[in-house]
Structure 1
Amino acid sequence: MGIGDNYFFVKVTDKVVVHAEEPWNDHWLSFTNLDLLVPPFDVGSFFCYKKPSHGSFPDLLNTLKASLSRALSLYYPLAGEILWNPAAEENQFRCNNRGIDFIEAVADVELKELNLYNPDESIEGKLMPKKLHGVLAIQGEQLNKLQLVASENGQRRSKLEAFTSFLWKIVALSMEDSGNHNKLCNVALAVDGRRRLSEGDGEEKEKLMASHFGNVLSMPSGSKTSQELMEMSLSTIATDVHEFLQTATTKDHFLDLIDWVEERRSQPLVAIAFASKEMSVMVSSGTRFHTNGDMDFGWGKVVFGSCHVPSGREDCYVSTLPSPTNNNDWVIYMHLPMKHMNYIESHAGHMFKPLDSDYLEI
């Protein structure tokens, strides 16, 4: 694995299984109706920290193991397995405390030497399995400009709507540039229904829904040809994004969605956003996830964190995350074909900044 003219190696020093601290009775747990709309989609994450100024490495590992064990006692299905339940005739959680693999490893490289912008060179096959993606940063002033342009029709659009509109158009431009003329290009936004489903039901219900770790998502989407998008202004595209997004922002929408799945639970189901064989990009907002401060285990805040989608997935997935260095910036994770990544790099360099040690201040 090369970094410039240098190479680094990762050596696994130990591998153990961490179980829940408090065991429970072995039982099956069914998926919720909204879980059934999301296909098996392996999205992971990784977090990087500066070297602690206190405590030995074994002590840090023991802290992590103990924290994980306690967390699994609260979220015990995560310590189980997804298996076929013959009695229910569907896949379910087998809550058997199988446990979580905990792998310890060391690398002969410093964090600041890693090319975090292009993980193909430094992360894949080392910290994460092989995959194709890119991680970039979009700065506060560029987001503000993008929002202003997207709001030129007189209606104020959110930063997420503006960014999604920009991404939708530039992917379409990349399609046209690569010879895929006038082909359908779809974009979908993941909408979290936790807060919406608990609206008006009191503080206790709000807390219960906020702690739910399953999928409570709707995925409204829009579909246009690449040529249409090429000819549309950003504000016009933003209007379309706003309109299809609004269809999934009410409590009634999520209640209707739950009922719709209940009537068809015995059938294979999938959200429209995942069913299309055309070019489709899923955008998920993680800018409200306060991982930068909450992921402190006692040796400092996160220096850098990002998503991870395995290379076997052909889905196009984009996630916006809060920057660890500037509250107004976003870190953008993109799991896209390289032809689109190359086009974005060459035609939107003014918008995105590659992640490097200078940006992360490490």
Structure 2
Amino acid sequence: MGGGGDFTVTLTKKVVAAMLPMQEHWLPLSNLNLLLPPLDVSVFFCYKNPHDQRVNGGDDFTFGSMIGVLNKAISPEHWRPIMHCQGKLWAHADVRLEDLDLYNPDVSIEGKLVPKKNGVLSVQVTISHSLCISNVVLVGACTFDHRIADAYSANMFLVSWAEMAQSKPLSVVPSFRRSLLNIRRLGSYDPSLDDMYVPISALPPPRAQQPGGADPLISRIYYVMAEQLSLLQMLATSKSSSYKRTKIESFSAFLWKMVAKSAVGENDNKKICKMGIVMDRRMRLSSGDEDKAAVMATYFANVLSIPFGEKMIDEPKVKPFELGGRCRS
């Protein structure tokens, strides 16, 4: 990828689509939602201009017609019970997708092709004209407040939006029944959980205030070929064992090993290195009850945990599969 962080995105239109009067619906955050910090998460999708297709069997696709379909599908008449739709952004970008540096999304994507969050959800649709008109590309992006939705819920929203844009019936009707997660008994926690959290005052200062501008939180996008995952899985599986490592185990162990190897500072080997994977817990909370499992499969909110292992930083370099210690969630 090239250095695609230096380009211009021009806001062409902001559509305010809230219909008044509106019936307000107040939805409380669950305890699982409240575990999440005020963190923004984004997703974007890229589409080639489908010249040989038509919108709902009618007019040829144009930027305006595509915007119209997306705008209608996300209008408040569909989403009124769950969303107060204040506005959506349409924009043009003077960059080709092949020139974007997707390895550094914080620089090349955030605030450009992916909108800054305003409220609980922001949507931006961007058109990018390359040198050849046949490669005109549409980029659809959303930024969510993580406190209202995990990746599973965000996917429900995106799939529903796509189905409505294609005039299809909804395959999943989301559930907002917070009572599904009412506690059965007073909770307790292991003292080891104290090691998972630190006061906000103990976090590293913002990037602008740090020597050299180092950023403690870095986003990366990796593109891994299927054959590479299969090779990792083969290398990770011992010939003397009947147990076959899964692809997620194999890749996670490889990533943990690479992160540990990247530590080159003095006394780094004496530091703790942690590896965690975000997991959906809807099936776990159904406790084998098929009826509850069916309801939990449509539950829109946060139902996740992060099981993780920890080791001294030199151990994952040679034994990335042997998490040892405590694997917490």
State the TM-score, normalized to the length of structure 1.
0.52
Structure 2: where are the runs of 5+ without partners? 52-59, 117-216
Residue 9 of structure 2: aligned partner: 10
| 1:170 maps onto 2:258 in alignment | yes
Q: 1:198 aligns with which of 279, 283, 286?
A: 286
- Quote the offset at 1:193 in angstroms: 1.2
**Distance (Å, rounded) in 2 between the aligned partners of 1:201 and 1:134:** 38
| 1:40 maps onto 2:38 in alignment | yes
- Quote the offset at 1:157 in angstroms: 1.9
Partners of 2:5 and 2:100 within 8 A in 1: no
Residue 49 of structure 1: aligned partner: 47
Q: 1:64 aligns with which of 55, 59, 70?
A: 70
Partners of 1:14 and 1:103 within 8 A in 2: yes
**Distance (Å, rounded) in 1 between the aligned partners of 2:4 and 2:285:** 53
**Distance (Å, rounded) in 2 between the aligned partners of 1:157 and 1:135:** 24
Structure 1: where are the runs of 5+ without partners? 80-96, 249-362
What is the RMSD computed on CA atoms of the aligned residues? 3.4
Residue 96 of structure 2: aligned partner: 110
Partners of 2:5 and 2:101 within 8 A in 1: no
Moved more, 110-119 or 55-64: 110-119
**Distance (Å, rounded) in 2 between the aligned partners of 1:221 and 1:162:** 15
**Distance (Å, rounded) in 2 between the aligned partners of 1:5 and 1:191:** 32
SS for the counterpart of 1:236 is coil
**Distance (Å, rounded) in 1 between the aligned partners of 2:232 and 2:289:** 37
Q: Which has the higher strand share?
A: 1
* 1:290-305 mapped onto 2 (5 Å cutoff): none
CA 1:62–1:121 in 2, change beyond 3 Å: closer, same or farther?
A: same
Supply the AA of the counterpart residue of 1:161.
E
SS for the counterpart of 1:34 is helix
- Quote the offset at 1:164 in angstroms: 1.3
State the TM-score, normalized to the length of structure 2.
0.56
SS for the counterpart of 2:262 is helix
Supply the AA of the counterpart residue of 1:197.
L
- Quote the offset at 1:217 in angstroms: 1.1
| 1:30 maps onto 2:28 in alignment | yes
Count residues in correspondence. 218
Q: 2:296 aligns with which of 209, 216, 224?
A: 209
CA 1:129–1:73 in 2, change beyond 3 Å: closer, same or farther?
A: closer
CA 1:215–1:114 in 2, change beyond 3 Å: closer, same or farther?
A: same
Partners of 1:3 and 1:115 within 8 A in 2: yes
CA 1:21–1:65 in 2, change beyond 3 Å: closer, same or farther?
A: farther
**Distance (Å, rounded) in 1 between the aligned partners of 2:20 and 2:49:** 28
**Distance (Å, rounded) in 2 between the aligned partners of 1:107 and 1:182:** 46
| 1:142 maps onto 2:228 in alignment | yes
CA 1:136–1:221 in 2, change beyond 3 Å: closer, same or farther?
A: closer
CA 1:181–1:72 in 2, change beyond 3 Å: closer, same or farther?
A: farther
Question: Which stretches of structure 1, 4 residues or more, deviate above 6 A after TM superposition?
Answer: none
- Quote the offset at 1:100 in angstroms: 4.3
Give per-residue Cα distances to partners, 1:12-71, cap 9 Å, x unaligned.
1111234489953x2432222222222222111111111231322221111111111269
CA 1:73–1:185 in 2, change beyond 3 Å: closer, same or farther?
A: same
CA 1:145–1:125 in 2, change beyond 3 Å: closer, same or farther?
A: same
* 1:1-362 mapped onto 2 (5 Å cutoff): 8-19=7-18, 23-24=22-23, 26-53=24-51, 54-69=60-75, 73=79, 76-77=81-82, 79=83, 97=84, 99-119=85-105, 122-128=108-114, 132-152=218-238, 154=241, 155-175=243-263, 177-179=264-266, 180-202=268-290, 204-230=291-317, 232-237=318-323, 240=324, 244=327
SS for the counterpart of 1:116 is coil
**Distance (Å, rounded) in 2 between the aligned partners of 1:228 and 1:6:** 36
SS for the counterpart of 2:221 is strand
CA 1:219–1:20 in 2, change beyond 3 Å: closer, same or farther?
A: farther
Partners of 1:149 and 1:235 within 8 A in 2: no
**Distance (Å, rounded) in 1 between the aligned partners of 2:229 and 2:19:** 42
